[in-house]
Amino acid sequence: MNIAFILDPLEGISIKKDSSFAMMREASGRKHRIHVIQQEDIALKEGRVRVISTEIFLTGKIFPWYEKGEMRHGHLDEFDAVLMRKDPPFDMEYYYATQLLEMAEREGAKIYNRPASLRNWNEKLSISRFPQFTPPTLVSRKESDFREFLDCHQDIVMKPLDGMGGSGVFRIRENDPNIGVIIETVTLYGKRTVMAQRFVPEIEKGDKRILVLGGIPAPYCLARIPKRGETRGNLASGGKGVAQPLSERDLEIAGSIGPVLKEEGIYLAGLDVIGNYLTEINVTSPTCMQEILDQTGCDVPKMMIDLLEAECA
């Protein structure tokens, strides 16, 4: 197979933890050919979506971990599978990229995840499709709404709708002297719509990342446990990742959401679960494959390449 990865510059990838690299390594081990594409190298020319791709070869070393092969101009339907793995933030450039990729899909390209679903499944707002699993949630830009929500729940978390890695996340309690300035900061003085959720104290046991592949959850998740003095478990914020089997509640949540994701063309997603509550559905570039593999032997990258081979057969 020829597999193309649309992702951030290779120089910024940490091969010790990057899930895209883990999938590349698995695919390369099966003699599949690996190509990389930068988001800025996708264009519409003469009525067709064209890309500039570069084939890479894994060296098996820590550095340099790849060697560049031929760079070529072509079309996405020339690849057996295209994985859109560009990291957030979901800005207008990302939005335009999904539109171009949707055009390429109509030309015959097989793109995972489906471009329209990448656009439509906001990683924060999409939990509203499954209210039976979510904590009390508010989405607004009005300070009065957040103050009322805080009065009701006493302890809440506010976060932007387009962030990643825990960036811009604030916890507010009813006696916090900085309530006003936090709301102003997160909402940009009422110009930006953001989300608030009731604080879930089980965060101290970890913000669990459950990977769902082709509608089926991997049997292990990664509980990202906050460092001392933090309420964010994100690894990018200093959290510690501890792999563990899925609980009955995890299986209930993933079992209900997984088939919907698959129907929408989302073949790789990361559900974030704190305690018994679903807090996010990550569809752009879910991570934690390597941590789960290293700690448990559960080979999630293998599961993903198995899935791609089956889809493209």
Residue 124 bears catalytic tag: yes
Mean pLDDT, rounded, for 285-305: 97
Our measurement of the distance from residue 113's CA atom to the centroid of its chain's CA atoms, rounded to an integer in Å, reads 11
Residue 147: active-site member: no
Q: 159, 198, 208, 264: which one is catalytic?
A: 159
Measured between alpha carbons, how far is residue 113 from residues 154, 239, 255 in Å?
38, 27, 19
Spelled out in words, what is the top-level CATH class assigned to the domain 2-113?
Answer: alpha beta
The average confidence (pLDDT) of the chain is 95
Residue 231 has pLDDT above 80, yes or no: no
Q: Catalytic residue at 17?
A: no
pLDDT in tens, 189-211: 999 999 999 999 999 999 999 99
Confidence of residue 2 (pLDDT cuts 50, 70, 90): very high
For residue 227, indicate whether it is catalytic: no
Q: How many CB atoms neighbour CB 47 within 10 A?
A: 7
Class of the domain covering 136-199 = alpha beta
pLDDT in tens, 81-102: 999 999 988 889 999 999 999 9
Please pick, among 209, 234, 250, 264, the residue that the annotation labels catalytic.
Answer: 209
**Which of 18, 80, 250, 272 is labelled catalytic?**
272
232 among known catalytic residues: yes
Could you say which of 18, 232, 250, 264 is catalytic?
232
CATH 3.30.1490.20 boundaries in the chain: 136-199
pLDDT given at position 77: 97
- As a whole number of angstroms, the distance between CA 11 and CA 126 comes to 32
**Bridge partner list, 171:** 157
Domain(s) labelled CATH 3.30.470.20 in the chain stretch across 125-129+203-306
Task: Please compute the mean of the pLDDT values over residues 27-56 and round it to a whole number.
Answer: 98
Of 113, 122, 234, 282, the catalytic one is 282
Q: Give Dmax over CA atoms of the chain in angstroms.
A: 60
Taking 80 as the threshold, does the pLDDT of residue 233 lie above it? no
Lowest mean pLDDT among 63-72, 100-109, 227-236: 227-236
CATH 3.30.470.20 corresponds to the domain 125-129+203-306: yes
Residue 159 appears among annotated catalytic residues: yes
Encode burial over 234-248: b for 16+ CB neighbours within 10 A, e otherwise: bbebebebebbebee
* Annotated active-site residue in 25, 124, 198, 208: 124
The catalytic position among 198, 207, 224, 250 is 224
Kindly tell me if the per-residue pLDDT of 237 is higher than 70.
no
Tens-place pLDDT, residues 147-173: 999 999 999 999 999 877 778 899 999
Q: Which of 18, 80, 162, 280 is catalytic?
A: 280
Amino acid at 248: E
User: Active-site residue 110, yes or no?
Assistant: no
Answer yes or no: 228 catalytic: no
Predicted pLDDT at 238: 77
Residue 167 has a pLDDT of 80
